[in-house]
Structure 1
Amino acid sequence: MSSFDPTLVLPDDLLERIRSRAAAVDAENRFPEEDLAELRDAGYLAILVPTAFGGAGLGLAEAAILQQRLASAAPATALAINMHLVWTGVAQVLADRGIDDLRFVQEGAVGGEVFAFGISEAGNDLVLFGSDTTAVPHEDGGYSFTGTKIFTSLGPVWTQLGLHGLDTTDPDAPQLIYAFVPRTDAVHTRDDWDTLGMRGTQSRTTELRGAVAPADRVVRRVAPGPNPDPIVFGIFSVFEVLLASVYTGIARRALDLAVETAMHRTSKKTGKPYSDDPDIRWRIAEMALAYDGLLPQIDALARDIDDQADHGALWFARLSGLKHRAVVAAKQIVDEAMLVAGGSSYFTRSELSRLYRDVLAGMFHPSDPESAHATVASAWLGPVRS
């Protein structure tokens, strides 16, 4: 495990200020503007950018630790920032492999730009392997994008939207175009984010109405379908590791709250603290056993990405499995924490109540449970025979 000290990047006082705002952000269903401002001032948007460009020069393994820490204070803030960090992480994955296509992302992150993630589309279970958004080429090499993206985190504040769309100019050889568009009148962000949990992410629906990516912001052209292109690996790997990190951070906070509650609640029946109750002790032990297993998994796989390890055909199974296990374990841990805390945790004023709502979102991110199981089954059994 890493000896990296996350408090040097995300100090305790900053974390506590972010924590103090989380309940109001959730209740008011708004974006945590203050959190973003403080994180930007602290250089957090550039933690994955090399020092040569003015960033912190951290690897994915260190970023994963930081995101766990941030999520323990404000899960929605951490999840929103995740989407920006995905693009800076992809930039580094590509750069490590000799591809400099996303240098502008690294430089932009240092300059305070906020990069959002515009991949998800309603009903499109192909995700990275296809798109219902049309990409129309320009003579100068740019593209116009028309379509609708969903779950666009950072909806009110992003400055650049990384997305994909399908160019069918040659119907015999369609191409998926990965590019970045700025926020202009050709991009409409709906104010439609009113959800059960993760309310602060403001992951609003984004309508693209001929939004233009200039030629120097068109970064990759790849064939639809499963593809070995580094951008596909980069997006999937960084996305899954950072998602696992956020939900692991939620699990840690729930565990801490359960321990705190057990230490301070006293049984009327026995006169002893709940921490002496064998059933409570068993529940907290179960929570800790599940939580402890997540940390080395995240660290090991993140380091493999940083070190360019070769897992071959097993990469996607291991990445989707990591995210799936982290989310399932986090939900189990929050469930147990609610039982330890008792009926008071059912009130909306309880932090555990918010964590319970936030952790549910994990099941809906790629890879969802069905996709994760299909990917792992294919890795072990081969594809389904027709």
Structure 2
Amino acid sequence: MTAFDPDVILTDALIERIRSRAAAVDADNVFPEQDLAELRDAGYLRVLVPEDRGGLGLSLADVSRLQQRLAEASPATALAINMHLVWTGVAKVMRDRGIDDLRFVQEGAAAGEVFAFGISEAGNDLVLFGSDTEATPHDDGSYSFTGTKIFTSLAPVWTQLGLHGLDTASPDGPRMVYAFVGRDERVVTRDDWDTLGMRGTQSRTTELHGAVAPADRVVRRVPPGRNPDPIVFGIFSVFEILLGSVYTGVARRALDLAAASAQARRSKRTGRAYAQDPDIRWRIAEMALAYDALPPQLAALARDVDEGADHGARWFSLLSGVKHRATATAKRVVDEAMLVAGGSSFFASNELSRLYRDVLAGAFHPSDPESAHSTVASAWLGPIEP
């Protein structure tokens, strides 16, 4: 069996076209429609869909590498597509464990549908374990959802929105309800995405005014709070690994740009390239040492998810840890790259300037630094005593 080569799907030519559009997408604050069209043509929306359902049948470890490569070209495009890949990844994780509740996600992705991720809510630090969105049950098994979701990436283009809400009306309630709704007049997308970075994701606010998920799109009802349900594990594992992959790609691109700058710039004092300066060499080495630790960690954890490894209660600390390390390391690497490149990197037209703004978004994704540290502390020390 030959090793997977990400260059086969994300060819050099495709990557360069996406990179060539990234600055304008950022400056104009628009969704990268051309990127999505080319990625769809390349089969990218169905990379995690099994071959027997019209997909490419790749593993989570394979797609982690793809997302790193895509993020090197355009972090915002990679982050936007990430949210579609999360749902197809969750469908794969669950099916691999004998649960086929998200078959329609795999078949939809193979047919060209775009799935968005509607989980985040303002002020809701419970994330997967609670929701301020009201999930109202109906006699036919459907649910209607009323509430507001934030950071809804792919806002202009999604066809199905995967979300959660809290059902307090059912006799067995409360229950967290995971379901999918389509676009209609009960779903309002605000045009409010005017941010510092990651502008191409167009992660706008979504208002739900009784948006209905048909019975066959209500995929899971689980108790609120921490629990080992497969959909919770699936979302958490795929989200954290692919998110870490995007920011690892940002770090790699910043490192490449810094090295190229050090080779190209020359010191007036010595007449030599900055690549010969001991301080610059040390700084580049520090960046590389930090970056080099990330891809193997992502590969190992993704492979464990693919192969069904049992880390038990440690899973959540391992997953939140790799996301935290990836985003924090990427920020440090970009900071250092700016210093290596010098004052020119401070101009908005410089790619490093955009990477500097984009990488800041990493701290705002779940698990945020506080949550990651709390999870890891509990794994090693036990919960805080009441």
TM-score (ref. length: structure 2): 0.99
Cα deviation code 1:256-293 (max 9, x no counterpart): 00011011111111000111000110010001000100
2:105 is the alignment partner of 1:105: yes
Tell me the equivalent position of 2:165. Answer: 165
2:266 is the alignment partner of 1:266: yes
- Structural RMSD (CA): 0.9
Measured in 1, the distance between the counterparts of 2:176 and 2:334 equals 39
Tell me the equivalent position of 2:76. Answer: 76
Measured in 2, the distance between the counterparts of 1:199 and 1:57 equals 30
Contact 2:188 2:206 in 1 (8 A): yes
Tell me the equivalent position of 1:377. Answer: 377
- Aligned ranges 1:209-228 → 2 under 5 Å: 209-228=209-228
SS in 1 for 2:254: helix
Measured in 2, the distance between the counterparts of 1:235 and 1:374 equals 19
Tell me the equivalent position of 1:129. Answer: 129
Count of residues in correspondence between the two structures: 385
Measured in 2, the distance between the counterparts of 1:168 and 1:314 equals 31
SS in 2 for 1:257: helix
Tell me the equivalent position of 2:322. Answer: 322
Q: Note closer, same or farther for the CA distance 1:142–1:172 as it changes in structure 2 (3 Å cut).
A: closer
Contact 2:46 2:55 in 1 (8 A): yes
2:282 is the alignment partner of 1:282: yes
AA paired with 1:133?
T
Tell me the equivalent position of 2:67. Answer: 67
Measured in 2, the distance between the counterparts of 1:7 and 1:304 equals 24
- Residue 221 of structure 1 and its aligned partner are, at CA, apart by 0.4
- Residue 34 of structure 1 and its aligned partner are, at CA, apart by 0.4
Tell me the equivalent position of 1:28. Answer: 28
Tell me the equivalent position of 1:252. Answer: 252
2:152 is the alignment partner of 1:152: yes
TM-score (ref. length: structure 1): 0.99
Cα deviation code 1:308-330 (max 9, x no counterpart): 00000100000000000001110
- Residue 172 of structure 1 and its aligned partner are, at CA, apart by 6.7
AA paired with 1:259?
A
Consecutive unaligned residues in structure 1, runs of 5 or more: none
Contact 2:70 2:78 in 1 (8 A): yes
Tell me the equivalent position of 2:88. Answer: 88
AA paired with 1:359?
V
Tell me the equivalent position of 1:114. Answer: 114
Tell me the equivalent position of 1:41. Answer: 41
Further displaced range: 172-181 or 36-45 = 172-181
Tell me the equivalent position of 1:294. Answer: 294
Tell me the equivalent position of 1:4. Answer: 4
Measured in 2, the distance between the counterparts of 1:123 and 1:313 equals 26
Contact 2:244 2:326 in 1 (8 A): yes
- Residue 173 of structure 1 and its aligned partner are, at CA, apart by 2.7
2:238 is the alignment partner of 1:205: no
Measured in 1, the distance between the counterparts of 2:230 and 2:145 equals 22
Measured in 2, the distance between the counterparts of 1:32 and 1:146 equals 29
Q: Note closer, same or farther for the CA distance 1:23–1:100 as it changes in structure 2 (3 Å cut).
A: same
Aligned sequence identity (%): 77
Measured in 2, the distance between the counterparts of 1:30 and 1:102 equals 31
SS in 2 for 1:56: coil
SS in 2 for 1:178: strand
